[in-house]
């Protein structure tokens, strides 16, 4: 089931009850543009919002009984877990997540066949709804991109030459559409797997000594307008800034290295709740003390003192605002 299928079904349900998008957004306590993006197939509804929407439509005697949303969320999770495994680079982990993705692809094929069967039955009665006319296989190319990328990363770790790796990474991107010019990346809407492919392609250019194209891609990803509101934006900015800091370091462009590090340290301090870590370590020190583990107590004390000194130094040197 793809995004457009779900969005079209939601739109059909809404119109059946003569509700506007504004009506639904107010009832669901979410932003109007969110409802619009979901119905247009530009955004997959989150689990919390889905439960709320389902509650609203169930109140009218209607439900998402044919969408099997639990499967959709598992599908999305399988993709994200595979990307995480690819980033971590452990071959065994990649293989495990690949098996999960394969199971997802088989499950999706089965779901698609069953829904198509229902469509054929209804065609005989001329009762095919608008949302059922969607092509349920429109995400197959994206699934293949995840699958092939995992195998490509595995091949690289087994000695695949960088030049061939770059060509094949571009080929994976083009399983779905032609890769845009690097200069056009800021204005192109990209999926999670396309972001990862661009990131990998840029790092490969960098490893081959082609810093110019690497920088164009990294800057394009930083300025991409398609995921400005994404909850992953800070994570992606930190990821790109860390690699660009290395790129600028190789050029001895220390001013720009400092800019990247300033951003990373600033975001890390604001994102991480260091108080929880501190309190947890203090509790661990108490446990060590109860168990007579004086070495453990001493190591924790030294770690906390060193961390406090480092953070004070960073805040002074990089002029960062301390988390409130």
What is the C-alpha to C-alpha distance for residues 18 and 12, in angstroms, rounded to an integer?
10
- Is residue 115's pLDDT more than 60? no
Q: How far apart are CA 81 and CA 217, in angstroms?
A: 24
For 261, other C-beta atoms within 10 Å of its C-beta total 18
- Predicted confidence at residue 70, as pLDDT, reads 54
Residue 13 pLDDT > 60, yes or no? yes
Output the pLDDT for position 321: 46
- In this prediction, residue 190 carries a pLDDT of 84
43/21 Cα distance (integer angstroms):
15
Q: What percent of the chain has pLDDT over 90?
A: 24
Q: How confident is the model at residue 310 (pLDDT cuts 50, 70, 90)?
A: confident
The runs of H, that is alpha helices, within 29-90 are 32-39, 47-58, 69-88
Q: Is the pLDDT of residue 109 over 90?
A: no
Determine the pLDDT at residue 181: 95
Distance of CA 2 to the CA centre of its chain: 17
What local confidence, expressed as pLDDT, does residue 243 receive? 92
Residue with the larger pLDDT of the pair 323 and 115: 115
CA dihedral 79, 83, 85, 89 (to 10 degrees): 150
Give the mean pLDDT of the chain: 78
Give residue-wise pLDDT tens across range 138-164. 456 777 888 888 888 888 878 899 999
For the stretch 171-209, pLDDT in tens is: 999 998 899 999 999 998 888 889 999 999 999 999 999
Q: Which of 64-78, 126-140, 208-222, 243-257 has the lowest mean pLDDT?
A: 126-140
For 33-47, 137-151, 281-295, which range has the lowest pLDDT when averaged over its residues?
Answer: 137-151
36, 21 in Cβ contact below 8 A?
Answer: yes
How would residue 322 be classed by pLDDT, with cut points 50, 70 and 90?
very low
More confident residue, 128 or 10: 10
Position with higher pLDDT, 298 vs 45: 298
Residue 129 per-residue DSSP state: -
Residue, of 17 and 213, whose pLDDT is higher: 213
- Calculate the CA dihedral of residues 153, 155, 156, 159 and round it to 10 degrees: 160
Cα separation values, 76 from 48, 71, 205, Å? 15, 9, 29
The pLDDT score that the predictor gives to residue 133 is 41
Would you place residue 71 in the very low, low, confident or very high pLDDT band (cuts 50, 70, 90)?
low
Q: Nearest 10 degrees: CA dihedral of 38, 41, 42, 47?
A: 50
């Amino acid at each position: 089931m793809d995004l457009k299928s779900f969005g079209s079904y939601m739109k059909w349900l809404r119109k059946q009850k003569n509700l506007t998008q504004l009506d639904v957004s107010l009832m669901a306590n979410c932003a109007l543009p969110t409802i619009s993006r979901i119905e247009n197939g530009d955004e997959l509804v989150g689990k919390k919002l889905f439960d709320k929407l389902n509650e609203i439509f169930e109140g009218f005697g209607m439900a998402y009984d044919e969408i099997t949303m639990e499967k959709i969320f598992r599908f999305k999770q399988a993709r994200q877990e595979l990307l995480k495994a690819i980033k971590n680079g452990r071959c065994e982990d990649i293989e495990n997540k690949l098996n999960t993705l394969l199971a997802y692809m088989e499950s999706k094929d089965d779901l698609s066949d069953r829904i198509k069967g229902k469509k054929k039955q209804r065609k005989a009665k001329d009762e095919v709804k608008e949302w059922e006319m969607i092509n349920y296989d429109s995400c197959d190319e994206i699934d293949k991109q995840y699958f092939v990328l995992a195998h490509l990363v595995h091949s690289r770790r087994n000695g695949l030459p960088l030049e061939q790796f770059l060509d094949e990474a571009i080929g994976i991107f083009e399983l779905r559409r032609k890769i845009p010019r690097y200069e056009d990346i800021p204005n192109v809407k990209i999926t999670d797997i396309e972001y990862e492919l661009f990131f990998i392609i840029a790092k490969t250019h960098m490893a081959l000594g082609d810093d110019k194209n690497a920088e164009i891609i990294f800057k394009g990803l930083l300025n991409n307008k398609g995921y400005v509101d994404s909850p992953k934006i800070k994570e992606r900015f930190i990821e790109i800034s860390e690699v660009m800091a290395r790129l600028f370091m190789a050029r001895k462009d220390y001013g720009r290295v400092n800019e990247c590090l300033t951003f990373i340290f600033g975001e890390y301090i604001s994102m991480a709740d260091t108080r929880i870590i501190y309190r947890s370590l203090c509790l661990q020190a108490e446990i060590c003390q109860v168990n007579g583990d004086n070495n453990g107590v001493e190591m924790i004390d030294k770690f906390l003192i060193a961390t406090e000194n480092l953070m004070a130094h960073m805040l002074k040197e990089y002029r960062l605002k301390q988390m409130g």
